[in-house]
Amino acid sequence: MGNYRIAVLPGDGIGKEVTSGAVEVLKAVGIRFGHEFTFEYGLIGGAAIDEAGTPLPEETLRLCRESDAVLLGAVGGPKWDDNPPHLRPEKGLLAIRKQLDLYANLRPVVCYDSLVSASPLKPDLVQGVDFVIVRELTGGIYFGQPSGRVVENGEEKAVDTLLYKKEEIERIVRMAFILARGRKKKVTSVDKANVLSSSRLWREVAEEVAKQFPDVTLEHMLVDNAAMQLIRAPKQFDVIVTENMFGDILSDEASMLSGSLGMLPSASLSASGPSLYEPVHGSAPDIAGMNKANPIAAILSAAMMLRLSFGLTAEAEAVEHAVWQALALGLRTADLAPSGGRIVSTNEMVEEIKAAV
Amino acid sequence: MGNYRIAVLPGDGIGKEVTSGAVEVLKAVGIRFGHEFTFEYGLIGGAAIDEAGTPLPEETLRLCRESDAVLLGAVGGPKWDDNPPHLRPEKGLLAIRKQLDLYANLRPVVCYDSLVSASPLKPDLVQGVDFVIVRELTGGIYFGQPSGRVVENGEEKAVDTLLYKKEEIERIVRMAFILARGRKKKVTSVDKANVLSSSRLWREVAEEVAKQFPDVTLEHMLVDNAAMQLIRAPKQFDVIVTENMFGDILSDEASMLSGSLGMLPSASLSASGPSLYEPVHGSAPDIAGMNKANPIAAILSAAMMLRLSFGLTAEAEAVEHAVWQALALGLRTADLAPSGGRIVSTNEMVEEIKAAV
Ligand SMILES: CC(C)[C@H](C(=O)O)[C@@H](O)C(=O)O
Ligand SMILES: CC(C)[C@H](C(=O)O)[C@@H](O)C(=O)O
């Protein structure tokens, strides 16, 4: 019987529909297990630019800091694409990650048996896929300075900086090892050590951290090879740990193993304060407001919140099982159509999962 | 009837076997079409470190500059993995790219009908795949300065720099448009413009260049989405143009569409001097010297040389057709085993292709 304050930041596009679905499911969990969840809403992304003139208002940050966890939808859309960099929706997302020190982005990739045929990959390759990508989220080329435009001797140039401190690498690699301990005890550290200085430091630090986890195997893999291995033989992976940009690319690629980007939840863990939970997918402006979006990534993100922020394991499992059941019954949002079953709306999918909780 | 000087740099591991196969095939082309090819050998990579103390000896560079084209195998291996950065085989590859100004790396991705089932993707998704990745090869984070290790206030850090000049972007994007004109007239420019300054400049320049090619369509795609689309719906692509690191990652991923990395050739075109041709795959130390490697990527690289450096179109087509025929006859090196057929050695594959030329 607990009381939990949850900050909900729907953001833009389908972010609104999928967070509302996740909130519904959390309410059902509250009733079934006797918890009190309080939901308070904040602005972020394009919605915040429109209403408050900035992609991450101070008020939103305050709300998050006073909450036990944050549930986020998605940000962005064509409406704001021509805005100057500091007034772009994505800046809100990058800023909240940095401000709340959400350094560890966990992206589990699981292929549900009933969705095996939704994947572009051959069934025998994806059946049983179950790994997690641990992406560093507050460092690297996303935040390094200098970053910008310069004119030198009449030449126009643009520069970005990939910077990692030893401690930043240490804490994310350690997180990967801790997770691996509770899983299949294998960490694949992905880098580009044959080219990048930052990757060579990354590899060294990974080796050091590994010494504290003699029960876990560490392997190194170059990012180009990893992009290939993910589709060649995805079952070789247990925990993948990598820097910010590589993690961004590899996790979107890996989403295809689970059938759809609409299936992938994520947790962004903070070093100190509240953690944030969001689907890996974006705001999908083309289908926003059409009651077609897949709410499962957001709902599974809420399940991660129950487990990782509140320690409510049985509750998290109830949600995960409800999702599994809805899929096994043949319910499919449009993105999952290739796997057969009955096409349903966002609302129908949410109702089914709620009922099953 | 022409005379052509070809510099051959076998490098390490299977680099030796596959370049020797490609040389055999070129000799057969010479006989059949009455050309004289002269082959001169140079050191690069680990082999050069061992024999000359540096991964790219001056002599090799001189040889390349005096040649009409360069055929390269692959570099690298565990033997040199613990060498200091400037004595690593890969440095030889990066240095030759920079020294010969090989700015445009063309990586065609084609799925041969007879190899459809070798791909981890479903047959209907890969059958008919035919696009080319145009990767910028002499700029970006591979060469930007500063790059290295620093200790500041007792904190250990490592930094890399992603830098692009406007002209560097212009020339590679223009190359993509020129190629698209002779193909399906579509360019997909891949960047991360929602995060990187260099990508925003990239996108601007791409828009500018596009104005000179009103008959070609330009679309922009974020790199994370591109990593997903490549396996979700690869037939949407015609010409993909992108910066150095993104091109590295995406082309290895895309190799899986053609069944095996052992199928992918590449051309690295120079702004002024001789161009270089090399398979996309690496030195594969685990199978080096075992007569098991797939020579097709190297042989198709030689075909690209015939077409792009020497303007010998009929000759290039003869080689490509010979490869097609060997595959259609059911010959398969070990990497292509999943597609059925008869497993043959490197030599047997080379002999068959030579005979068919
Ligand atoms: C929207 C964008 C800035 C973001 C990122 O690149 O991190 C997104 O792609 C993600 O993966 O969460
Ligand atoms: C060996 C390595 C430096 C190289 C690169 O990253 O460019 C390779 O992966 C390639 O794609 O040619």
- In this structure, what CATH number is given to the domain that contains residue B185? 3.40.718.10
Q: What is the reported pLDDT for A5?
A: 98
Q: What is the reported pLDDT for A2?
A: 87
| Ligand 1 atom nearest A93 alpha carbon | 3
For residues B274 and B199, membership in a common domain is answered with: no
| Helix, strand, coil shares, percent, chain B, to 5 | 50, 25, 30
pLDDT tens digits, A32-58: 999 999 999 999 999 999 999 999 999
Ligand 1 centroid distance, CA of A248 (Å): 7
Which residue in A has a C-alpha nearest to residue B81's C-alpha?
A: A194
For residues B22 and B70, membership in a common domain is answered with: yes
Ligand 1 centroid distance, CA of B351 (Å): 49
Q: Nearest-CA neighbor of B283 among B82, B98, B81?
A: B81
Q: Which two tokens stand for residue B132?
A: 């080319």
For residue A27, say whether it is annotated as part of any ligand binding site: no
For residues A124 and A226, membership in a common domain is answered with: yes
Ligand 1 centroid distance, CA of A76 (Å): 10
Closest CB to A162: pick one of B121, B162, B261. Answer: B162
In a domain, A243, yes or no: yes
Closest listed ligand to the CA of A224 = 2
Ligand 1 centroid distance, CA of A327 (Å): 27
Q: What is the reported pLDDT for B337?
A: 87
In a domain, A55, yes or no: yes
- For residue A1, pLDDT over 90 is answered with no
Which residue in A has a C-alpha nearest to residue B76's C-alpha?
A: A194
Between CA B347 and CA B357 the distance in angstroms is 15
pLDDT band at A82 (very low <50, low <70, confident <90, very high): confident
Query: CA B30 → CA A282, B24, B35, B202, B319, distances in Å?
Result: 55, 10, 4, 42, 11
For residues A252 and A265, membership in a common domain is answered with: no
Instruction: Out of A248, A277, A335, A354, pick the active-site residue.
Output: A248
Query: CA A182 → CA A80, A238, A265, B163, B166, distances in Å?
Result: 42, 11, 19, 41, 49
For residues B254 and B284, membership in a common domain is answered with: no
Q: What is the reported pLDDT for B338?
A: 80
Between CA A286 and CA A121 the distance in angstroms is 25
Range B9-19 average pLDDT: 98
Ligand 2 centroid distance, CA of B168 (Å): 19
In a domain, A176, yes or no: yes
Query: Which chain B residues are within 8 Å of A161, Cβ to Cβ?
Result: 159-162
For residues B249 and B275, membership in a common domain is answered with: no
Closest CB to A159: pick one of B162, B246, B255. Answer: B162
Q: Does the CB atom of residue A357 touch ligand 1 within 6 A?
A: no
Domain count of the fold of chain B: 2
More confident residue, B161 or A84: B161
pLDDT tens digits, B199-249: 999 999 999 999 999 999 999 999 999 999 999 999 999 999 999 999 999
For residues A63 and A91, membership in a common domain is answered with: yes
Q: What is the reported pLDDT for A241?
A: 99
- For residue B1, pLDDT over 80 is answered with no
| Ligand 2 atom nearest B94 alpha carbon | 3
| Ligand 1 atom nearest B194 alpha carbon | 3
In a domain, B113, yes or no: no
A306 CA: distance to closest CA in chain B (Å): 28
pLDDT band at B138 (very low <50, low <70, confident <90, very high): very high
Q: What is the reported pLDDT for B320?
A: 97
Q: Please answer whether residues B334 and B111 qualify as being in contact, where contact means their C-beta atoms are separated by less than 8 angstroms.
A: no
Q: What is the reported pLDDT for B85?
A: 86
Q: Does the CB atom of residue A93 touch ligand 1 within 6 A?
A: yes
A61 CA: distance to closest CA in chain B (Å): 21
Q: Please answer whether residues B94 and B76 qualify as being in contact, where contact means their C-beta atoms are separated by less than 8 angstroms.
A: no
Range A64-91 average pLDDT: 94
Q: Does the CB atom of residue A228 touch ligand 2 within 6 A?
A: no
Range A335-339 average pLDDT: 87
For residues B126 and B211, membership in a common domain is answered with: yes
For residues A248 and A301, membership in a common domain is answered with: no
In a domain, B154, yes or no: yes
Range A98-126 average pLDDT: 96
Q: Please answer whether residues B37 and B27 qualify as being in contact, where contact means their C-beta atoms are separated by less than 8 angstroms.
A: yes
Q: Which residues contact A253 (CB under 8 A, 6 or more apart)?
A: A227, A230, A231, B224, B227, B228, B230, B231, B253
In a domain, A114, yes or no: no
pLDDT band at B44 (very low <50, low <70, confident <90, very high): very high
Q: What is the reported pLDDT for A6?
A: 98
Q: What is the reported pLDDT for A85?
A: 86
In a domain, A287, yes or no: yes
Lowest mean pLDDT among A142-146, B313-317, B334-338: B334-338
Q: Which two tokens stand for residue A336?
A: 């999952």
For residue A89, say whether it is annotated as part of any ligand binding site: yes
| Catalytically annotated residues of B | 142, 192, 224, 248, 252
For residues B254 and B264, membership in a common domain is answered with: no
| Ligand 1 atom nearest A94 alpha carbon | 3
pLDDT tens digits, B247-265: 999 999 999 999 899 999 9
Of A94, A97, A106, A248, the residue with max ligand 1 atoms within 8 A of its CB, to mutate for a pocket test, comes to A248
For residues A251 and A263, membership in a common domain is answered with: no
Query: CA B292 → CA A279, B18, B277, B278, B286, distances in Å?
Result: 44, 10, 21, 18, 10
Of B235, B258, B281, the position where a domain reaches its end is B258
In a domain, A115, yes or no: no
Range of the domain at A98: 1-109+259-357
Of A204, A238, A258, the position where a domain reaches its end is A258
Of B227, B258, B289, the position where a domain reaches its end is B258
Inter-chain CB pairs, A–B, below 8 Å: 165
- The residue with tokens 């408050």 is A52
Closest CB to A161: pick one of B149, B161, B230. Answer: B161
A354 classed as catalytic: no
Closest CB to A249: pick one of B166, B198, B227. Answer: B227
pLDDT band at A266 (very low <50, low <70, confident <90, very high): very high
According to DSSP, the residues that pair with A41 across neighbouring strands are A8
pLDDT band at A27 (very low <50, low <70, confident <90, very high): very high
Q: What is the reported pLDDT for B154?
A: 92
* Buried residues in B178-192 as b, exposed as e (16+ CB within 10 A): ebbeeeeebbbbbbb
A335 classed as catalytic: no
pLDDT tens digits, B147-185: 999 998 999 999 999 999 999 999 999 999 999 999 999
Q: Does the CB atom of residue A224 touch ligand 2 within 6 A?
A: yes
pLDDT tens digits, A161-215: 999 999 999 999 999 999 999 999 999 999 999 999 999 999 999 999 999 999 9
Lowest mean pLDDT among A115-124, A271-280, A335-344: A335-344
Query: CA B328 → CA A234, B53, B322, distances in Å?
Result: 29, 45, 10
pLDDT > 90 in chain A, percent = 95
Contact A256 B232 (CB under 8 A): yes
For residues A224 and A324, membership in a common domain is answered with: no
Range B38-52 average pLDDT: 98
